[in-house]
Structure 1
Amino acid sequence: MGDWVTTRGLREGRRPRALSPWREHLRDTFWFAPTAAMVLVFAVWAVASEIDARIVRAFQDAHDYDGVSELISIADDARTVATTVSSAMMTFIGVVFSISLVAVQMASGQFSPRVVRLFVRSRITKVTFAVFLATFVLSLLVLTGYDGEPDPRYVKTVPLLQAILTLAMVGLSLLLFVMYVNSTLRLMRVSHVIGRITSEAFRVAARMPAAATAGAGVALGPETARVLHQGPGGVLRDVNIARLVRAARQHGVVLRLIPRIGDFVVPGTPLLAVHGGTAPAARSLRYTVSVGVERTFHQDLAFGLRQLSDIALRALSAAINDPTTAVQALDRIVQFLAALSHRPLDASLHRDRRGTVRLVQPVPGWTELVDLGFSEVRRCAVGSPQVTRRMMAGFDDLLLVAPQERRAPLLRHRELLAQAVQRAVPEAADRAFALRPDRQGIG
């Protein structure tokens, strides 16, 4: 999946959508899909109930009371199913998602606490939970639809269509349960988790504007004002680019975001620098900045490398001691850095419809990304020849694809790794073995 994003997603940046931050924030929540499903099932039940009532009235108007009696008999059989579903579904939900919480705990301890968000953002998990709850609610509503009148001439409704919908929801629940179990088992595999993180990181890079350097012939002019952060303190998760570009265009200025996405912002500290005029009114800047308790992928270019580095560090710890997982994380670190090796970094320029730069958003530079991907792992990898061999091969591959001006940080890390191995490994043969490039670590 990551390779697909590399070949297609990094070609050209996309114009930011106005509702993009809201959509991303809803993906990071678990309440929206179940709540929407329960509201929808109320609406579907109301429509089905009206259709059932009209069917009964049509039979009664035609004086076909035998047909009404047959409908009542069929609905009585379906009532047993609805009763069983309503009593068993909540127990089923509790057991299934209790097991899921245990799986999330295990993944958090083995990989990194940051990977829990993969479970929260999993679409199949949300859809399964939503359908389970919707099936339970629908079964209760169906049970309330039974008239209890035995005379077919006076019965008002027979929940026939409602019962059919309940059976259909039960079948859909069983199908989603199988898909959910398969998805959960995949999310517990380290290779799949690392692949998902890499794919998300590539999507962030794909959304960056194609011309992203602050020095691409754009003069911001002198700084004329600053906007302070007035909201709560926390991690800067993302900014509403479309709103900021519109506010800057209306006031004829250029806005420059001072903190970087992923930084912790404190109330009262500078948030935006204004170039070329007065600061936009506070009303036009409302809801343009999102601050939370943790970082998200939405606009954070470095967050993927942060998670991959965390997984490698956790794998190299004495408690886990799994160098093969560290090698898998390094594979993706090298892949991501290779994809960014020719892209302009340091700042992302956002333009209005006329092509005028209106927002400058800082992003990590090449040296910062290389340091993030290798610094901590390099310090912990000295005692594992499998990891050092993979790192040496990774440096060699990146030196082949990176332009000349970006090779200095790679050469620095390569030399530091070699020096650390020479100090830590006394035998010359072991040193030579540990520093021999190998893309698989040790075969």
Structure 2
Amino acid sequence: MSGSSGTGGTGGTGGTGGISGTGRRALRHPHALASLREGLRDTFWFAPTVGLLCAFVLWWGLAEADARIVAHLQRERAYEELGDLIAVVVDARTIVTTISSAMMTFIGVVFSISLVAVQMASGQLTPRVVRIFVRSRISKLTLTVFLATFAFSLLVLSSYEGGAAPDPRRVTSVPLLQSVLTLGMVGLSLLLFIAYVSSTLRLMQVGPVLDHIARESFRALGRQSGGEPFDGAPLAAEAVRLVHRERAGVLRSVNVARLVRAARRQGVVLRLVPRIGDFVVPGTPVLAVHGGAAPPPYALRYTVAVGVERTTHQDPAFGLRQLSDIALRALSASVNDPTTAVQCLDRIVQFLSVAVYLPLGPVHHRDGRGAVRLVQEVPGWTELVDLAFEEIRGCAAGSPQVTRRLLAGIDDLLLLAAEERRKPLLRHRALLVEAVERTVPEAAGRAFALHPDRQGIG
């Protein structure tokens, strides 16, 4: 980001550090800790890499322990006991060798299942649900343990000394603990494989996927409710705008605590210009500073995260977007699956039934002394209702199962909504009735399609 003097400046194309141009400041690309955590969850390499490193450290520690056991027995001249250990380990070597050769095949099976599941979910639902599979903890844990078992078994094989039965007097290491742990990791791999297959089959079903999206959206709503409704009080004059100077992308999250702290130290009010989920390009205003000079660049590092796609971390509207996309694909002529659309409407109504009680629209965040330091624009109630119903309503007029469920959902929300939030619901209800009346010529068909039913057609 960089600062641009005045209220409408969008910055130039100067340097990325220090001061570039009159009144302009450039900030480093920020990375908040929360966005880093979310970014790592969106990758599939981090957990397996950590698992491989842990396998190497564990092997090194157990090799040292095995060496000390052998040295202790040799000092005690317990050659008979040591010979027995060597015999057990020699028998276990065949098992470890088999394990090391079989684990790669097992890993290939896991990858094959993952790719098939992702392809089916992406084709039947929406490409955006692929993120659920990428972020699946059980998938990452299974792959991590499998790779760690494979690497560990190879390291254990390197610890075996040549010969069928090494001389107990001259042997330096007997990988007893290593062999036992290898067998334990194989057992853990088998259990995880069962859990992985069960989890993958579950995520290939529509219901669990929609439930996962809904739960992520509720968590995002909880994080968003940390602010207070903006009371509309006028802000001080806008002095400067900080503009985005790095790569283009979607605004994924902001570090509210750090922004409030920076604004308090500078004695100003910051206003987030785009909303979470907006696509920003270099030169796009990101933060407006009211009431004074902009905070120093170092104070605003790690405050705004931009990525290649939206996430639900601080963007509950993205959950509605996904549910709407799945419903629209289900209602398309190529799929024609109104039951899936009804299931999406179930979750949409559930989401709105929670959001109807929350403060929406612009919110402000205060510092420890109660002074407003950050104003953030979030989707209002009308925008959420439009996102939830507008596109589905346009495609549902010819499907009585969907129109009946949509009417029932709107009627349920009308019972929950305060008077000032009923208007968009009534508008969508009236538009749905008009669409059905235009689409269905028979009076009996119209009456059937406009009868509210929470199951669509029970």
Which interval holds the TM-score relative to the shorter structure? over 0.9
Residue in structure 1 matching 2:329, options 314, 317, 326: 314
Deviation readout 1:357-386 (Å, 9 max, x if unpaired): 322221100000000000000000011000
Deviation readout 1:142-191 (Å, 9 max, x if unpaired): 01111337221111110000001100100000000000000001100101
Distance 2:281 2:205 in 1: 38
Give how far 1:432 is off.
0.8
Residue in structure 2 matching 1:19, options 22, 25, 33: 33
Distance 1:187 1:129 in 2: 17
Residue in structure 2 matching 1:28, options 30, 38, 42: 42
Please give the TM-score of this superposition, normalised by the length of structure 1.
Answer: 0.94
- Secondary structure of the 1:238 match is strand
Contact persistence 1:208–1:348 (CA under 8 A): no
- Residue of structure 2 in register with 1:173 after alignment: 189
Distance 1:19 1:83 in 2: 42
Residue in structure 2 matching 1:401, options 416, 420, 423: 416
> 2:221 matched to 1:205?
yes
Residue in structure 1 matching 2:257, options 238, 242, 256: 242
- Secondary structure of the 1:342 match is coil
- Residue of structure 2 in register with 1:136 after alignment: 150
Contact persistence 1:301–1:364 (CA under 8 A): no
Distance 2:139 2:113 in 1: 13
Distance 1:73 1:353 in 2: 69
Residue in structure 1 matching 2:400, options 382, 385, 389: 385
- Residue of structure 2 in register with 1:41 after alignment: 55
> 2:95 matched to 1:87?
no
Give how far 1:250 is off.
2.0
Residue in structure 1 matching 2:110, options 81, 86, 96: 96
Distance 1:205 1:125 in 2: 27
Q: Residues 65 and 108 from structure 1, CA distance in 2 versus in 1: closer, same or farther, beyond 3 angstroms?
A: same
Give how far 1:317 is off.
0.6
Contact persistence 1:209–1:349 (CA under 8 A): no
Give how far 1:122 is off.
0.8
**Greater Cα shift, 258-267 or 205-214:** 205-214
Distance 1:344 1:368 in 2: 13
- Residue of structure 1 in register with 2:279 after alignment: 264
- Secondary structure of the 1:273 match is strand
**Greater Cα shift, 186-195 or 71-80:** 71-80
- Residue of structure 2 in register with 1:183 after alignment: 199
Residue in structure 2 matching 1:193, options 204, 209, 214: 209
- Secondary structure of the 1:80 match is helix
Distance 1:74 1:349 in 2: 68
Q: Which amino acid aligns with 1:410?
A: L
Deviation readout 1:302-335 (Å, 9 max, x if unpaired): 0010001001101101111110110010011111
Give how far 1:69 is off.
1.3
- Residue of structure 2 in register with 1:120 after alignment: 134
Distance 2:367 2:51 in 1: 38
- Secondary structure of the 1:306 match is helix
Distance 1:350 1:135 in 2: 48
- Secondary structure of the 1:302 match is helix
Distance 2:181 2:331 in 1: 52
Distance 2:325 2:317 in 1: 12
- Residue of structure 1 in register with 2:24 after alignment: none
Give how far 1:223 is off.
1.4
Distance 1:211 1:93 in 2: 46
Give how far 1:219 is off.
4.9
Q: Which amino acid aligns with 1:232?
A: R
Deviation readout 1:188-227 (Å, 9 max, x if unpaired): 01011001100000000011235531117x5532212110
Distance 1:209 1:102 in 2: 38
Contact persistence 1:245–1:350 (CA under 8 A): yes
- Secondary structure of the 1:237 match is strand
Q: Which amino acid aligns with 1:205?
A: L
- Residue of structure 2 in register with 1:69 after alignment: 83
Deviation readout 1:364-421 (Å, 9 max, x if unpaired): 0000000000000000001100000011111111111000001111111000010011
Give how far 1:283 is off.
2.3
- Residue of structure 1 in register with 2:10 after alignment: none
**Greater Cα shift, 410-419 or 272-281:** 272-281
**Greater Cα shift, 404-413 or 19-28:** 19-28
- Residue of structure 2 in register with 1:145 after alignment: 159
Superposition pairs for residues 200-349 of structure 1, below 5 Å?
A: 200-215=216-231, 219-349=234-364
Contact persistence 2:227–2:365 (CA under 8 A): no
Q: Across the two proteins, how many residue pairs are aligned to each other? A: 425
Contact persistence 2:225–2:359 (CA under 8 A): no
Q: Which amino acid aligns with 2:409?
A: G
Q: Which amino acid aligns with 2:298?
A: R
For structure 1, the 5+ residue unaligned runs are 1-17
Distance 2:69 2:257 in 1: 51
Distance 2:334 2:76 in 1: 77
Q: Which amino acid aligns with 2:138?
A: I
Q: Residues 39 and 356 from structure 1, CA distance in 2 versus in 1: closer, same or farther, beyond 3 angstroms?
A: farther
For structure 2, the 5+ residue unaligned runs are 1-31
- Secondary structure of the 1:284 match is helix
Deviation readout 1:113-156 (Å, 9 max, x if unpaired): 11111101111111101000000010011011113372211111
- Secondary structure of the 1:345 match is coil
Contact persistence 2:225–2:358 (CA under 8 A): no
Please give the TM-score of this superposition, normalised by the length of structure 2.
Answer: 0.91
> 2:172 matched to 1:156?
yes
Q: Which amino acid aligns with 1:102?
A: V
Distance 1:339 1:380 in 2: 25
Distance 1:396 1:353 in 2: 42
- Secondary structure of the 1:290 match is strand
